[in-house]
Amino acid sequence: MKVVNLAQSKPFITKDGSEIRSLLDLSNGPVKQQSLAEATLQPGASTQRHKHSHTEEFYFVTQGSGRMDIDGEIREVAIGDAILIPSGSAHKITCTSAEALKILCCCAPSYSHDDTVILE
């Protein structure tokens, strides 16, 4: 059994500019086909528009609100919203709330800087 506590996960900045705390992935467990992390964006901050050639993502908003842009389709998102980001889709999210936007990110296959292509 592998259990990882979020508070013990050291944050790092991804290629798209978001702060990530990895929960389970290839770097800290016997994970083979996916990854789970918490992303944080401060008020007014955005990720850079990017895509993943191979990775499909789910975002699940746990705090704050934001504006999600996937291939030019824009939606307001808030606590409790789950978002599908198909592989190959250009995407960007902006924190629109007065508090930080926190999102659980699930990637399959596991997140990789090498699979992230910046588009801006």
The domain made up of 6-118 has a fold known as: Jelly Rolls (2.60.120)
Q: What's the pTM?
A: 0.93
Task: Report phi then psi at 8, rounded to 5.
Answer: -95, -5
- Interval 19-52: pLDDT, tens: 999 999 988 888 889 999 999 999 999 999 999 9
Two structure tokens written together for 103: 């999102």
Return d(Cα 37, Cα 101) in angstroms, integer: 14
Structure confidence at residue 96 (pLDDT)? 98
100-114 pLDDT, tens digit each? 999 999 999 988 878
How far is it between the farthest Cα atoms of the chain?
A: 41
Residue 27 has a pLDDT of 82
Residue-range domain boundaries for the chain: 6-118
Q: What pLDDT, on the 0 to 100 scale, is given for residue 18?
A: 87
Would you say 42 and 100 are in contact if contact means Cβ atoms under 8 Å apart?
yes
